[in-house]
């Protein structure tokens, strides 16, 4: 079972877009992904509720909810047939919570938007992962995703220059595309849409999927994985 954490403490960076599209990709190829929604906004959970019964199954956990009728461990349980656990993390994560959050993750995806504010937030996020969570560069667990970019812009060039300084791989560059907006409205991912409509978007995803595939199975399967350790 592969554990994928989508993380950036700054809101609006595209964590839910990455998490839901990953889940739909794995489901569309016949896997049994689990999408854990740890964000109190519940965007991933709303997306899941829009999916139709005939669509590929994605197991969902609304980890941000508290259910008095069941234990927390039972609420966060991972089905034995789950092939991937994809965690959509909340915004404003405290740095001191990162060690517990990241210790079981096979891959940590950090989406970042091309803006000065987002670049600064990404810099702090990477620093916290390296210095506080103690995720070593040589583990190759962190991958940055340049999100909602327009390649022929000055701010995009600034973003790419900044990412080069981090010495963390940029594993995908996702364009600013209305297909992601349509996908959210329909409860699908771009890999489930008509190919001729999303062909460029699918090409954008190939480096990211290849990076994850190379890591798949690199760590031994775990049991009882908690998508997000208790922080409150």
Q: Is 109's pLDDT higher than 70?
A: yes
**pLDDT (mean) for 200-209:** 98
Tell me the percentage of the chain whose pLDDT exceeds 70: 89
Average pLDDT over residues 52-57: 95
Fold of the 2-214 domain: Rossmann fold (3.40.50)
| Secondary structure (DSSP) of 95-125 | GGGHHHHHTT-SEEEEEE-SSHHHHHHHHHH
CA distances from 40 to 14, 76, 104, 161, 173 (A): 15, 15, 22, 33, 27
Would you say 25 and 205 are in contact if contact means Cβ atoms under 8 Å apart? yes
**Is 144 in contact with 163 (CB distance < 8 Å)?**
yes
pLDDT at 40 over 70: yes
Shortest CA distance to 219 belongs to which of 109, 107, 110, 131? 107
Domain ranges for the chain, please list them.
2-214
| 232 pLDDT tier (thresholds 50, 70, 90) | very low
pLDDT tens-digit map of 114-123: 999 999 999 9
What is the pLDDT at residue 226?
52
The enclosing H or E element of 20 equals: helix 15-28
Condensed to tens digits (0 to 9), the pLDDT of residues 118-172 reads 999 999 999 999 999 999 999 999 999 999 999 889 999 999 999 999 899 999 9
Tell me which residue of 197, 167, 162, 205 sits closest to 181, measured CA to CA: 197
């Amino acid at each position: 079972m592969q554990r994928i954490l989508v993380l950036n403490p700054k809101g609006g960076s595209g964590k839910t877009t990455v998490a839901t599209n990953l889940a739909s990709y794995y489901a569309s190829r016949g896997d049994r992904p689990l999408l854990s929604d740890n964000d109190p906004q519940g965007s991933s959970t709303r997306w899941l509720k829009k999916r139709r019964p005939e669509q590929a199954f994605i197991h969902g956990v609304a980890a941000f909810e508290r259910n008095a009728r069941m234990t927390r461990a039972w609420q966060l349980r991972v089905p034995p047939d789950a092939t991937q656990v994809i965690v959509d993390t909340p915004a404003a994560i405290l740095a001191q919570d990162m060690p517990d959050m990241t210790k079981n993750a096979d891959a940590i995806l950090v989406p970042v938007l091309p803006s000065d504010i987002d670049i600064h937030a990404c810099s702090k996020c990477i620093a916290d992962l390296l210095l506080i969570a103690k995720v070593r560069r040589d583990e190759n667990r962190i991958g940055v995703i340049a999100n909602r970019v327009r390649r022929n812009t000055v701010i995009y060039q600034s973003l790419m220059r900044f990412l080069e300084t981090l010495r963390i791989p940029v594993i995908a560059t996702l364009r600013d595309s209305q297909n992601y907006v349509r996908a959210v409205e329909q409860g699908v991912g771009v890999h489930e849409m008509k190919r001729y409509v999303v062909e460029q978007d699918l090409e954008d995803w190939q480096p990211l999927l290849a990076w994850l595939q190379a890591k798949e199975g690199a760590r031994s399967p775990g049991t009882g994985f908690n998508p997000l350790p208790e922080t409150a």
